[in-house]
Chain A
Amino acid sequence: MPIEGDYMGMILTIEDLDSENRDFFRYCSKKEFRLQRGKQSGLLRYPPTTACPWTRDRESEWIPVEGKGTVHSYVEVHHPIQPSFKDKVPYMIILADLDTQKGQPTEHEALRVAGNLMTEDGEFVSPEIIKTVGIGTRVKLIYVRVTNEFALPHWTIDESAEQPFEPWRYPQE
């Protein structure tokens, strides 16, 4: 049976044969952020794929990874496209570099993980909070339930981390 859930009015489906995404989102439902690690390369990868981009190795194992990172870039949407986001604007999509494996295997590579900027409870944040977040902000992963066996990872401000004095934001507010 495919895993299918209604999230914010959107129907999200993971097909039976899509074992990589099925495993990834199942771990998320247990509040675990696990990524595939290639057996030969020892390197983690994101999002889930069917082989290791560095060695072509098709063997991998799911390794728990600490869900902490730094905002590498972001999107701040003011004009919604999808109906489910009409009443969410402005909202933010965070692209954060995980601390784990940052700068490996080459200087500019990182596990860059996407998610919305949320409160710790998994609600979209207020416009005032959005204005405090930019490139350099320290963030951590949280999970929002879709079904019992499927949750989405999202980002929230890491209140326990030391934050930059002024994260970089697009100059026009």
Chain B
Amino acid sequence: MTISSLNEHDANSNKYLRGKYSICGVGETTYLRGSTQSTRSLATWAISNAMEDAGMKSDDVDGMLSYSGNDSTFAPSVAGDLGIRLNFYMDVHGGGSSIEALIGIAMGVIEAGMCKTVAIYRAMNGYSAVRIGGTGARSAAPILGDQIHHRAYGWQSAGQMFAPTFLRHMYDYGTTPEQVAAVKVAHSKHASNNHKAYYKKRYTVEEVVSSRIICKPLHLLDCCVETDNATCIIVTRTERARDCLNPPAVIQSVVGRCCKPRSDMHYQHGPISTVAGHYARDILWPNAGLGPEDVDITGSYDAFTFTTMLQLEDYGFCKKGEGGEYVSNGTIELGGRRPNNTSGGHLCEGYTHGMNMVIENTRQLRGNVDCSCPIDKNGRRQHTYNYKEGGCRQVKNAEVTANLGWAMPGTGSAMVMAKDHR
């Protein structure tokens, strides 16, 4: 697993802060249903874990970013609880595709001298309060102005909004339900080797396509899990990250909320079976100085099985229209050429609006994924690379990862990280 095509992509110029910033700490709460605590409490739990992972004290963190959709607690309260004095904070609106965008913002504000280290968190009671599937209070809220053009037609939840794109991909390219179901099969296999995952059961293609239809083409098992949790990553300069407890995951390139034309109503423009990755890839790969063929592990957002497939295709991991084949030929499973969401992702581990996939790839690049493999007397996990149920989850010689964040068909974010070679 080497970076083979560096020369094609202007790898030698250190452009756009390539390599200058890293993720130095990651942490999460338990993935729960019924957390019995506030998002403020979940946030302090996850951030504490990330700081401990980095070996940082309260004085070492002076910036904070969060994202949410009227369902969380903002940074000033959370920082106060943790004894963190902030030189910078911002709480932004958004769900999926926020994390990669906020990592870029964190790099920018540190580069501008506004602060030195930024903790980014997402704290949510996505099962027991504001439900991510869109049921409960959100589904019955009054319908105002522009929303009339969709919500009044019973077109509201994420699955309902994305379904025309998913169906049109099947129509345009002959993608089959069984091919796409392979995403759930792969992620459930990965989750069975992850003690943190909310769902650890392995599923078959047959089980996915015979689960009940939510809205065509989505079966129940094509949809993500709803959970209560908080997640956190800490971004700082790579030089500084090298002083932390764990090796840095070095950021090569970020794309933040890149959009198709008419992001308000993307169905008007272009083939609707093409998603934002089609545009984002022209920023992601040149800025990273490498291409999809150099990537060892992907983190393609799995709000649904289809979102993983569509993004892998439009970011160029296969030819346009061949996403169904790509996700069903073994490539994306542990043991395959390029595993996707090795923690089980949103379909199985827990729903975090993208953060758990960044956390997992950080751990993969450290070579120290928290699976059941034995830990030696130096505290180093001795990975077996045997991916049998309940076994190893570490990808051998993981050098480069790509996270592909999804907000909706028309909007996405992405990030490439690499192992540190000082």
Contact = CB atoms under 8 A, between A and B. Distances in A.
The judgment on whether A and B are partners is: yes
Interface of A: 7, 10-15, 18, 21, 25, 45-47, 49, 53, 72-85, 88, 91, 93, 95, 106, 108-112, 114-116, 135, 152, 154, 168, 170-172
Contact of A93 (B134, B144, B154): B154
Contacts of B139: 81-83
Interface centre among B142, B176, B267, by most chain A C-beta atoms within 10 angstroms, is B267
Contacts of A25: 148
Given A13-B143, A109-B268, A172 B177 contact: yes
Given A25-B148, A80-B154, A13 B160 contact: no
Given A12-B148, A78-B213, A82-B139, A168 B171 contact: yes
Contacts of B145: 13-15, 18, 21
A95 B267 contact: yes
Interface string B145-181: 1101111111111001001110110110000110000
Interface centre among A13, A83, A111, by most chain B C-beta atoms within 10 angstroms, is A13
B133 interface: yes
Contacts of A12: 142-144, 148, 152
A112 B268 contact: yes
B217 interface: yes
A108 B139 CA distance: 33
Interface stretch (B88-96, B188-196, B269-277, B338-346): B269-277
Contacts of A21: 145-146, 148
B4 to A, nearest CB: 34
B262 A53 contact: yes
B388 interface: no
A172 B163 CA distance: 15
A73 B144 contact: no
Nearest to B223: A79
Interface of B: 133-135, 139-140, 142-146, 148-157, 160, 163-165, 167-168, 170-171, 176-177, 209, 212-217, 261-262, 264-265, 267-272
A172 B134 contact: no
A16 B9 CA distance: 52
A93 to B, nearest CB: 5
B322 to A, nearest CB: 19
A108 B270 contact: yes
B413 to A, nearest CB: 23
Given A83-B139, A135-B171, A15 B144 contact: yes
Given A21-B145, A108-B270, A152 B152 contact: yes
Nearest to A83: B140
Contacts of B168: 72-73, 135
B150 A170 contact: no
A12 B156 CA distance: 14
Nearest to A25: B148
Contacts of A53: 261-262
Contact of A114 (B133, B142, B149): B149
Contacts of A95: 164, 267, 272
B215 A79 contact: yes
22 contacts: A12-B152, A13-B142, A13-B143, A13-B144, A73-B163, A74-B167, A75-B160, A75-B215, A77-B160, A78-B215, A79-B214, A82-B140, A82-B154, A88-B154, A95-B164, A109-B270, A114-B150, A114-B153, A114-B155, A135-B167, A135-B168, A172-B209
Contacts of B153: 93, 114-116, 152, 154
A13 to B, nearest CB: 5
B279 to A, nearest CB: 14
B136 to A, nearest CB: 9
Given A21-B148, A93-B153, A79 B212 contact: yes
Contacts of B154: 77, 80-82, 84-85, 88, 91, 93, 116
A52 to B, nearest CB: 12
A88 B155 CA distance: 13
A108 B143 CA distance: 31
Nearest to A78: B213
A171 B155 contact: no
Contacts of B142: 10-13
B86 to A, nearest CB: 37
A111 B142 CA distance: 27
Given A84-B154, A114-B149, A74 B135 contact: no
A21 B149 CA distance: 9
A11 B153 CA distance: 13
B354 to A, nearest CB: 22
A78 B216 contact: yes
A81 B160 contact: yes
Contacts of A13: 142-145
Given A76-B213, A95-B272, A171-B177, 8 more contacts: A21-B148, A47-B149, A49-B264, A73-B168, A78-B213, A93-B154, A93-B164, A109-B269
Nearest to B169: A73
B148 A171 contact: no
Interface centre among A10, A75, A81, A154, by most chain B C-beta atoms within 10 angstroms, is A81
